[in-house]
Amino acid sequence: MPDADLPPILLTEEFVEKVRDTLPLLPDYIASMLLGGAHRLRADMARRLSVNPEELQFYNAVMEKVNTDGIPVYNW
C-alpha cells in the first residue's frame, strides 16, 4: 500500500545497475562458491572464510598460486 505522504520514487535501470555493482558479495553467496568448484571446502570452513574478509583475501591469494583443492590451503 503506497504511503499517501510520500511521492513514488522512480529509479532508472542505470542507477540500479550502478548501485548493484558497488555492493559487496554477501557471506552466503561467498560460502556457496567456496563449497564447490576447485575449493571443495566443508561448510564450517566456507562459513568462516565468508565472514572474515582478511582471511578470505589471504586464502584467495594462496589459491591463485597452488594447484590443489582448498582444504590444505585453508588448514595452512
* pLDDT for position 4: 85
Each residue's pLDDT tens digit, 11-58: 999 999 999 999 999 999 999 999 988 899 999 999 999 999 999 999
DSSP code at position 68 = S
* pLDDT for position 36: 84
pTM over 0.95: no
Rounded Cα distance, 32 and 55, in Å: 16
Rounded Cα distance, 50 and 26, in Å: 8
**Residues 34, 45 contacting (CB under 8 angstroms):** yes
Q: Is the pLDDT of residue 2 over 80?
A: no
